[in-house]
Chain A
Amino acid sequence: MRGSLFESPAWCRVQCQRHCSQTPHKKEVPCVFGRPPQLPITKIIRLSAALLACHRRRSTPTAALSLPPRVCSLPPESLSCRLSTIYSWVRKTKLCSVDAAMATTKPRLSSFSRNLSAVSSSQTPGVKCGPNGTMFVSSGIADLDRYFEILGGGFPLGSLVMVMEDAEAPHHMLLLRNFMSQGLVHGQPLLYASPSKDPRGFLGTLPSPASLKHDKSRDRESEQEKGLRIAWQYKKYMGENQPNFDSHRVTHHYSGADNKQDYCNEFDFRKPLERHYFTRQRVNCVGIQHSKNLAALQEHCASFLAQHQRNDGSSALAGRIAIQSLCAPQCEHSNMDWEMLSFIKSLKGMVRSSNAVVVITFPPSLLSLSSTKRWQHMADTLLSVAAIPDEDKELAKLLSGYQDMVGLLNVQKVARLNTQVPLILEATTFSIKLQKRRFLVLECLNQAPVDGSSGSSYGTSGVFLQLSLTQKCYIEQLRMVSKEMDRAVYMKFGGGEKGRESGNNGKRSETREVSFQMSFTPIFWSVSVNGE
């Protein structure tokens, strides 16, 4: 018998008794139930005591109180324990972990949540409260919000998000589009700066929220599975993290009639955003190609952020700034390293005291290494995108769902405002997919079933992962990818120039390290992954 989490203790007791009476021949009747989150601990103690008494009457040697995922069993001697001992035992076993699949359908209110205020999130659409006194806005991508659920679900207000572009593919534009559309849908003012000739024209490519009809027809199974996957990672932090982190697992999708009030919308890239969203008051577009330096852009940002100053306790509307390709070569300031750094520093200083989020994308291949590191340090949240080549047979063998993938997204750093605890999560690399060419989804990497027959020059497997990498920073990404797939990564320099081979040739796949002590920049790298 397995009790559902949301049944009352009385129901559990009745079920247990019924089960016990139905199977009189069984010596051991393990009674399994999970702790309903709403129940206070005293009730759970009473329930457990009642269950133990029930088992004791039947002289069963063991009774098991199962708190998923752990199963703990009481030894027979302790059946006669006093209530306080049971209480301390139950306390010790860390009751905070919850069976994820059932929990996603109901909102949880933890008794420790100090910062959650339902009032504020309903007054200002699109803004959610989070731990440590921070407020969050959605990134526009549901999967990314869910990934950041542990933090509070989205980008914290007052933070600077940097996205490292891949010079080969414009996937950062997908992220930017979602971010901007989400803000406009929520009525949050937007400042957009771009090095293109007509920044305003970009607004025509913004996606519109998907219609409700499509929402319901989406695969719920995969949603819940994803929820499971993310919530499974909660397990590792339940014991250590503050309980107020798990008060935010509310799914805001499918919330009903008016999907504009959703915290995060599903965006359809085939449908452009309605024009009434980008009126002059709400959206300001700035071109940075022709200005001599960044002073004009700084002026714009300063005046924009001045309208969104954070005052204590006020629920002012959040603002969004999106700056695309800040160090693009067609801009005149692109070779003024210190000028750009100074601009970012002052922008960061201004945004910290305001209710806005700034997203800056930049191609790191155009900056010097030490400048790239400086930019990375200045970012609160750091993401990087990389392209995946089309029609790569070896990659198709390696990853499942390869045909739909357009790129990889790596989360390198997560904003830690008002706290010193770093956040290290299991999965940091996601594949970017465009479902039905319309919807942007991020998925954890899954390895495809490996073909048993292989015969390659590397002795163990002939699976190659070919990525054209030109930046040392992508090495980190590779490391993440190899970690996700739990495989060693071999690196080989192709292109005929330097046929050097480094890495752990011949070793088994326990090692995940790759040595990156290269001092030259390869033009083409091919990486082979050791499959079984």
Chain B
Amino acid sequence: MENQNLNLLDRALGLDGPSEPWPLSGRVVLIEDCVETSGSFVLHQLVKRSLSPTSSNVIIFVAFANPFSHYDRILRKLGCNLVTQRDNKRFIFFDMLMLRCPDVDEGKSSEGGLVLLYEKILKTICGLPGDKKDYVTIMIDDISLVEVAANGGSDYVLDFLHYCHALTSEFDCSLITLNHEDIYSSMERPTLILQMEYLADILIKAEPLSTGLATDVHGQLTVLNKGTSHRLGRSGNKIHNFHYKVKENTVEYFYPGSRV
């Protein structure tokens, strides 16, 4: 990692340290975005970092929003070949675009589909060779569509997330999820998003600037990194805020006003 070009996001996430052990292992990351600013670029960046040659991570990517070809094209421009990684068993893709949990009146409950999904993930992790088992990253894109797939049963979605969270302590894997914060901002009791924010160790929020959208600055990122068991022994919340601009090959991060 040291010889790579680290940007502000990497530093905020703690990826500027040594790559072994993986700084995000055992941690839960939540990416929040809204209609105006999509947060999927953060997900792509994390995929790229996880699949870097220096680390030995395995990614289990549970996709509800886009098919494999979409991510493949994007990551290729970022410099990461997902097809090769998939063949090397470092990138495992679960295409959940057509997942629809059976209706309640069919006898089975909505949680049936999610339970099966969890079992599939567990089986995949257990099926990995010994050395790779310690470096698994589970990515879910995105949670609001998991809710739709569960026909609105957010309790089932929460159960599913809690089970995945249990995996982080059992197997030391990291859990990275994406959700849309503006869906819940108008609800009276936004249980799902509040619980997710509580569970998360790192909270990354992508929102537009208060003055609206602009061509030079696509938005601002706020990264809340809760208590790390630092190598220095310290732990404490750290909030980082910076602006970003998304390009085809890279994403530029810069402090507000420092862009020339």
Contacts and interface: CB of A to CB of B under 8 A. Distances in A.
A345 B35 contact: no
B233 to A, nearest CB: 38
Contacts of A352: 66-67, 97
Interface string B142-164: 00110011011000000000000
B73 A132 contact: yes
A422 B246 contact: yes
A200 interface: no
B220 to A, nearest CB: 14
A374 B182 CA distance: 9
Given A419-B248, A424-B213, A483-B212, A345 B73 contact: no
8 contacts: A338-B148, A339-B151, A349-B97, A370-B183, A418-B74, A420-B248, A421-B247, A426-B215
Interface string B222-260: 000000000000000000000000111001000000000
A370 B38 contact: no
Interface in B117-154: 144-145, 148-149, 151-152
Given A346-B100, A352-B67, A479-B212, A373 B74 contact: no
A477 B246 CA distance: 24
A376 B149 CA distance: 17
A443 interface: no
B116 interface: no
Contacts of A342: 100, 148-149, 151
B35 A373 contact: yes
Contacts of A346: 98, 100
Interface of B: 35, 37-38, 40-41, 44, 66-67, 69-70, 73-74, 77, 97-98, 100, 144-145, 148-149, 151-152, 180, 182-184, 186-187, 210-215, 218, 246-248, 251
Interface in A110-129: none
Nearest to A483: B212
Contacts, number: 91
A337 B147 CA distance: 12
A297 B151 CA distance: 18
Given A349-B98, A370-B186, A418-B69, A242 B248 contact: yes
Given A377-B35, A377-B183, A353 B151 contact: no
A413 interface: yes
A368 B251 CA distance: 35
Contacts of B35: 373, 376-377, 382, 412-413
Nearest to A425: B215
A391 interface: no
Given A424-B215, A483-B212, 12 more contacts: A240-B247, A341-B148, A341-B152, A342-B148, A342-B151, A348-B97, A377-B144, A382-B35, A417-B70, A420-B38, A420-B74, A426-B215
Contacts of A353: 67
Interface in A379-430: 382, 412-413, 416-422, 424, 426
The winner among A236, A240, A353, A421 for most chain B CB atoms within 10 A is A421
A376 B35 CA distance: 7
A350 interface: yes
A124 B151 CA distance: 39
Interface string A281-317: 0000000000000000000000000000000000000
A133 interface: yes
Nearest 3 Cβ contacts at the A-B interface: A349-B97, A338-B152, A369-B186
Contacts of A28: none
Given A382-B35, A424-B218, A133 B187 contact: no
Contacts of B184: 370
A412 B36 CA distance: 8
A486 interface: no
B2 to A, nearest CB: 26
A422 B182 CA distance: 18
Contacts of B66: 352
B181 to A, nearest CB: 10
Given A341-B148, A422-B218, A424-B218, A373 B248 contact: no
Given A352-B97, A370-B183, A419 B74 contact: yes
B44 A420 contact: yes
A513 interface: yes
B223 to A, nearest CB: 18
Contacts of B180: 373-374, 377
Contacts of B151: 338-339, 342
A339 B150 CA distance: 11
B160 to A, nearest CB: 17
Nearest to A480: B212
Contacts of A242: 248
Nearest to B215: A424
B257 to A, nearest CB: 18
A416 B38 CA distance: 10
B254 to A, nearest CB: 15
Given A337-B152, A342-B100, A345-B149, A373 B67 contact: no
A242 B41 CA distance: 18
A421 B214 contact: no
A373 B149 contact: no
Nearest to B42: A420
A83 to B, nearest CB: 30
Nearest to A376: B35
A373 B182 contact: yes
A424 B182 contact: no
A497 to B, nearest CB: 22
Nearest to B188: A370
Contacts of B98: 346, 349-350
